[in-house]
Chains A and B, each alone.
Chain A
Amino acid sequence: MAVEKRVRFRSWWLPWALVAPQLVIVLVFFFWPAAQALYYSVQQQDAFGTQVVFVGLDNFRALFRDETYLASFRVTAVFSLLVAGLGLAISLLLATMADRVLKGSGLYRTLLIWPYAVAPAVAGVLWLFMFAPSIGVVSYALNAIGIRWNHLLDGTDALILVVAAAVWKQISYNFLFFLAGLQSIPKSLIEAAAIDGAGPWRRFWTVQFPLLTPVAFFLLVINIVYAFFDTFAIIDAATGGGPGKDTAILVYKVYFDGFKALDLGGSAAQSVVLMVIVIVLTVVQFRYVEKRVNY
């Protein structure tokens, strides 16, 4: 269907010059920090960096000897699946709804996009207030209907709280992309399906969703990265990883050890582990999930 376009450059340097700005950005903001993380992960240093000792793989060994670190892999998997899954499902639903709204669609969209402008830490605090035992609006309502809410001591409650905050924060982003994707689907296709007798449900799954798969795939990758890397501020503000270590996801520990506890070596080793996980996950997604994407 698609016509392949290929531009041929006559000089060898022009294409390089054109991609150079992007290359520089990638090198400075991605490869350089990654290299630094690798470098720090084999060192142990005091807070001020006045004594630096090369320790080889000691930081990694210490990590994997720590049972609670291994346990946080499970927490991270549950948290990331919930955040990415719920985030995508809810925003797809909202985008499909918003796509059909005729009157006041601008208002709906603005309101739905709003949470994206909220800083993660603020999102964490907002949800914390709503769910605060004994004074929060939501926990008060839950108590009224007989559900005892206490995320300070109940791990499941705490997980629900941080997942809700993280999903809420990311829905706007997903919504924007889904809505744009839906609106770029030619109306004629949907109309043709309607004429053939397909109802809204069938039209969505056989026409719209297959055409949305590139967007959905892109968002899946982005959301997994988001859940793995960008949620530490929410965790920090809402639960601090507690109760116990029930919401201490991997990236939260990276943040805590690096910025609060000032253990740069240990923190760098963890971020290297995290980097490897996300690279593997992304490769898996591109190799297996992408096969089911219609471009």
Chain B
Amino acid sequence: MNLKSLVLAASACSVLVALPAQAQTEIQWWHSMSGQLGEWVNGLAKGFNDSQKEYKVVPVFKGTYPESFAAAIAAFRAGNAPHILQVFEVGTASMMASKGAIIPVTEVMKTGGVKFDPSVYVPAVAGYYTAPNGQMLSLPFNSSTTVFHYNKDAFKAAGLDPDKPPTTWPEVALAAAKLKISGHKCPFTTSWQSWTQLESFSAWHNVEFATKRNGFNGLDTRLAFNTPLHVRHIENLANMAQQGLFVYKGRNNTADATFVSGECAMTTGSSALYGAIKRNAKFTGGISTLPYYPDVPGSPQNTVIGGASLWAMSGKKPAEVKGVALFFKYLSDPQVQAKSHQETGYLPITTEAYLITDKSGFYKQNPGTDVSVNQMIRKTTDKSRGIRLGNFVQIRTIIDEELEPVWAGKKSAKQGLDDAKKRGDVELEKFEKANKG
């Protein structure tokens, strides 16, 4: 043995000896929270890291939801997936169907030796991430729901009562007409048209968006949003579009900016828009419940969630899984949860967090912030529990593609919805076939 190899061996030994001293297990956490929300995520990781010495959670921003999802899939295929991945709600069915890629939360907790009670979570939230056999698969993290935002200043200018927002669709049309007369170019718009006008609309009126309990009871689910009620609503919006009362502002959440800028006076969108309105809008914003049709029995029921949950990826060492379990436990702490809820405008995902926030007087100081909570914490029905479909990304795009000609007056509401159902069902069949094994 020459000197060189001796030195190498010695240094190798010293590394081995030195390891336990700095043996902080790193937990990679890929997320899609940018800006203010990014700071919130970093704060959560720091809070956990400061609370113990064994594990270090490293949050990594990986782009938008679809981007981080695609990145994690590529990483998984290459054998170096992160420990924790934040996945948006439309990716849920894909994650659930990917057997072997993920570890269910209940199992993570068992492996980590952490006591876990799924019943502390708000049922409408937890139910969404729970498998048919009752096993909770992912940890609810940031959940939002659809609400009605309106511009109180514009209401005043149009002679409407700013403290009495429209609660039904006929009232929305009336308010829009008054706003238009007062000179408003964009009385009403909407973001996430599939989520607000069809998905939440269905749950809110206690009708199915898709069969088999909106996909909860099996992959052989098919779309069901071409009923007379849905057609009536889309027709109503199309008429409003022709009269200039509803102005289409694009797919996804592009309409949000037009509301915050004051261009549009009313919008339906995510409850998480609250933060942006509070920070950036030059007017007083108001939040109200999603409008409904009062003659529909059973409405209003509850709305469905959006947002994301945290998934534990498989193929990790037991020690690392334990770290994930401890971090999940930290995130489920009622105090941490309540703070998150108040900071971000996302829903409180445990009942306890809601009660703490309520007691602190937060809702009284920030009127409207409890609207989303009240829409969600009701007892859900089989038709309103949530919507979990495979190939949901494509289905939402198909709905966008079919609604746009309806807003433009090129297609009837019935035709648009029928076509969307027909094309969407092809995607569902495809998903069923690819995942039946």
CA distance A174 to B408 in the complex (A): 37
Of B101, B186, B393, the contact of A48 (CB 8 Å cutoff): B101
Interface of B is mostly: helix
Task: Please tell me if A240 contacts chain B, counting CB pairs below 8 Å.
Answer: yes
A90-126: which have CB < 8 Å to B?
Answer: none
Find chain B residues with CB under 8 A from A152 CB: 248-250, 404
What is the chain A residue whose CB lies nearest that of B398? A68
A interface residues, tally (CB under 8 Å): 34
Over the window 282-325 of chain B, the binary record of Cβ atoms lying under 8 Å from chain A Cβ atoms (1 yes, 0 no) is 00000000000000000000000000000000000000000000
- If A50-B101, A260-B393, A261-B393 touch, whether A45 touches B434 (CB-CB below 8 Å) is yes
Stretch at the interface among B18-26, B42-50, B65-73: B65-73
Residue A47 contacts which of B73, B249, B401 (CB distance < 8 angstroms)?
Answer: B73
Contact of A261 among B95, B97, B391, B408 (CB under 8 A): B391
- Contact call B437/A243, Cβ cutoff below 8 A: no
Does A244 contact B99, Cβ atoms closer than 8 Å?
no
Least CB distance from A289 to B in Å reads 36
Interface residues on B, range: 35 or more
Chain B 238-265 interface mask (CB, 8 Å, partner A; 1/0): 0000000000111100000010000100
Picked from B249, B250, B404, B426, the residue with its CB within 8 Å of the CB of A244 is: B404
Contact between A243 and B404 (Cβ–Cβ < 8 Å)?
Answer: yes
**Bitwise interface map of A from 37 to 64 toward B, beta carbon under 8 Å scored 1, else 0:** 0000000111111110101000000100
Q: Are A153 and B408 in contact (CB under 8 A)?
A: yes
Q: Check B98–A244 contact: CB distance below 8 A.
A: no
- Tally inter-chain residue pairs, CB-CB below 8 A: 98
CB pair A50–B94 under 8 Å, yes or no, is no
B282 to A: closest C-beta gap in Å: 16
In this complex, what residue of B is CB-closest to A154? B408
Q: Are B434 and A242 in contact (CB under 8 A)?
A: no
A34 within 8 A of B: no
A206 beta carbon closer than 8 Å to chain B? no
For the complex, what is the distance from the CA of A243 to the CA of B95, rounded to whole Å?
Answer: 30
- Taking CB atoms, residues of chain B closer than 8 Å to A263 are 391, 394, 430
B435 near A46 with CB under 8 A, answer: yes
Q: A46-B94, A51-B99, A263-B430 are in contact. Are A243 and B405 (CB under 8 A)?
A: yes
Task: Tell me, yes or no, whether B77 is within 8 Å of chain A by CB.
Answer: yes
Is B400 among interface residues, defined by CB-CB distance under 8 A?
yes
- Inter-chain contacts of A266 with B (CB < 8 A): 430
A134 contacts chain B at the CB level, 8 A cutoff: yes
Q: Please, which residues of chain B bring their CB within 8 A of the CB of A45?
A: 434
CB within 8 Å for A242 and B94 given contacts A53-B434, A66-B426, A152-B249: no
| Interface pair A50/B100, CB less than 8 Å apart | yes
Q: Does A245 lie at the interface of the complex (its beta carbon under 8 Å from any beta carbon of B)?
A: yes
Interface, chain B (partner A; CB < 8 A): 66, 69-70, 73, 76-77, 94-95, 97-101, 185-186, 248-251, 258, 263, 391, 393-394, 397, 400-402, 404-405, 407-408, 410, 423, 426, 430, 433-435, 437
Other 7 A-B pairs with CB < 8 A, given A53-B433, A261-B393, A263-B391: A46-B434, A47-B97, A48-B77, A48-B100, A51-B435, A244-B410, A248-B401
15 A-B residue pairings within 8 Å (CB atoms)? A45-B434, A47-B94, A47-B95, A48-B73, A134-B185, A152-B249, A152-B404, A242-B404, A244-B410, A257-B394, A259-B66, A259-B70, A260-B393, A262-B73, A266-B430
Chain A residues close to B by CB (< 8 Å): 44-51, 53, 55, 62, 65-66, 68, 134, 152-154, 240-245, 248, 256-257, 259-263, 265-266
